[in-house]
A and B are shown apart, each in its own frame.
Chain A
């Protein structure tokens, strides 16, 4: 029966059936063959979303969308230009830096790719004439977005695992996010070192520096609201998302004055769509998890893995491979919803810190956003640049190598980032 389930799922995915519906169809098939009650199927769909913590998801998305629509990005851009614009290949460095800053506002890599991409890919092409490199940098650096808090994948992870606090995960993401940013900046410097790019020679006076920094601060308040709210304990993640929305509306209408009601409407539509896409995956995942549990699959998998190795380090190595392979084919939210309920308890039985395993999971699966065949960020960036996915992919290879090394470091040397959540008492 398990074989039927897996084969049905994989065949459906290969045939371009959306991942959520593939999961639903495979599960409904085994329910029917197995004589499981279909009324339970409907119940599990509903109860899959019957968790208040999930409400944070649409609110975080909306906050990010509103911030994106209120001219915040151009302020982040100016500030990044001030910091790294005069370096060789400045626009590429700016792209990475903006993603670190924007990551503090937005919890989604895809939103980052499309927002930063539409501002920078064409501009970079005009300046340096290499659209594939511009698109590749945009895609790979957008992965920083969900690692620096706030983060939608972390919300979903905390929901699926149930044994880790979202505040602790957020704190754990700070160091790896910055580390990943530095890695990409260094990789960019190496890539452009042999190239003959024109340089930006703008000179900034003290007054410019002051003005640009002040404008930057309007944007920098948002992550402080979101993260400090959750970490400082005066707000649940949901409430923090809501406060961020209120701030984004205030900033957009009264500070930057670039937000319009039409943009608010568009942001809400976007939020509804993304929410539905993610939530239906979670809902079908909940039905599928029920069936797998009944079949004893989680128990069998953990017995098997524990039979293979007793070492936590080996376990992380196995998970690294599993996540990289799964991440290539299955979208991040779906992968988490399917795998985390099985592997998070297993990680705990190996004595691995739940925060460490959560961060490792989010980060490793995020690589799937920039690897074919389902590299969503690659698709978005290629679409904006008007070039083929294959070309972006080739330009991204050196970056992927660099990112993979960072992931290895994060996976096997958790001490470099766990001190931060520890310091806050988690």
Chain B
């Protein structure tokens, strides 16, 4: 049996919560194949940005690439749909939908023209919350006129605009500085990202509104053609390892975010929720505007959304899987 070495480019930094899952995957592959299969991991964009590494996989120049799909809109709209505001209202729904075979089949069908296969998913540390530096958002109206840092996802900017705020695209590494300098009034990322980029230090972000309005994740992709040509014993090891690493990561993330939130509160950050009627108002205006604008666009067809919603199932009582108390 011949040995295989695969290169995996992970765009997010080695200290990010997704990196732990990627490392676990590499470790399990090695273990399960008795060292015959090696995954060489390059964290922190060493081999390039998300678009760049996904293109490299697509062109067959790299084996695996992982990045948040918030940055991939220009490569493929296939993942954008998961980013619809208030599409999921609990972690159970998110995990059910992203783990559903039917959903994966649908997305992989859309990835076919770009020769990519969706291989695995690593949560990024919760849904997007609203962090602000000086102004506490207490009503839906408070959001109007604010400037938020936005990723390269049209759906995130769309949500900001739905609130009457502006989404200013700033690359992630430049974001702390743009907050410090007041170029933006805040940002909308998961707790784990606030934490890993140290927004809680020095009062950079003082308020975190637990809005849970949008989900995104880090997706791991592989070149579809090259993958299909691999011998079965290799693919089975890879798939088993990916599944186990994913399950391990689900538990890991929950503890991780709970600890993050506690530590940020310790540092003086106020983590709070909106009164129910204000929450409903924000939810309604976001869905009205963003769904109205994007449903029906490529990769975001109504039947795909229907499929995702039916696979997502009930909200359940597990919330977002971590505690902010």
Contacts and interface: CB of A to CB of B under 8 A. Distances in A.
> Would A and B touch once assembled, by the CB under 8 A criterion?
yes
Interface of A: 36-37, 39-40, 43-44, 47, 50, 52-53, 162, 165, 167, 232-234, 236, 290, 293-294, 425
Contact of B182 (A37, A43, A233, A290): A233
Given A47-B49, A293-B42, A293-B47, A165 B177 contact: yes
A425 B180 contact: yes
B46 A293 contact: yes
Nearest to B171: A52
A41 to B, nearest CB: 9
A47 B52 CA distance: 7
A232 B183 CA distance: 10
B60 interface: yes
Contacts of B51: 47
A396 B98 CA distance: 67
A53 B171 CA distance: 10
Given A290-B47, A290-B48, A294-B7, A37 B59 contact: yes
Most chain B beta carbons < 10 A, residue from A36, A47, A52, A167: A47
Contacts of A36: 61
Nearest to B183: A233
In order of increasing CB-CB distance, the 8 nearest A-B pairs are A233-B181, A40-B61, A37-B61, A47-B52, A293-B46, A165-B177, A233-B182, A39-B59
Interface of B: 7, 42, 46-49, 51-52, 55-56, 59-62, 171, 173-174, 177-178, 180-183, 202
Nearest to A341: B46
Contacts of B62: 40
Given A37-B60, A39-B61, A52-B171, A44 B48 contact: yes
B173 A162 contact: yes
Contacts of B174: 53
Given A43-B55, A44-B52, A294-B47, 11 more contacts: A36-B61, A37-B60, A43-B52, A43-B59, A44-B48, A47-B48, A47-B51, A50-B52, A165-B177, A233-B178, A234-B182
B117 to A, nearest CB: 19
B322 to A, nearest CB: 29
Given A293-B42, A293-B46, A167 B60 contact: no
A37 B223 CA distance: 15
A167 B7 CA distance: 36
A10 to B, nearest CB: 25
A393 B56 CA distance: 48
Most chain A beta carbons < 10 A, residue from B7, B52, B60, B173: B52
A406 to B, nearest CB: 29
B56 A50 contact: no
Contacts of A162: 173
24 contacts: A37-B60, A37-B61, A39-B59, A39-B61, A40-B56, A40-B59, A43-B52, A43-B55, A47-B51, A47-B52, A50-B49, A50-B52, A52-B171, A162-B173, A167-B177, A232-B181, A233-B181, A233-B182, A234-B181, A234-B183, A236-B183, A290-B47, A290-B48, A293-B46
A167 B51 CA distance: 28
A282 to B, nearest CB: 14
Nearest to B181: A233
A28 to B, nearest CB: 15
A412 B42 CA distance: 33
A148 B177 CA distance: 22
Contacts of B181: 167, 232-234
Most chain A beta carbons < 10 A, residue from B46, B55, B180, B183: B46
A236 B173 CA distance: 14
Contacts of A43: 52, 55-56, 59, 61
A50 B183 CA distance: 22
A50 B48 CA distance: 10
Most chain A beta carbons < 10 A, residue from B177, B183, B202: B177
A236 B62 CA distance: 34
Contacts of B180: 233, 425
B57 to A, nearest CB: 11
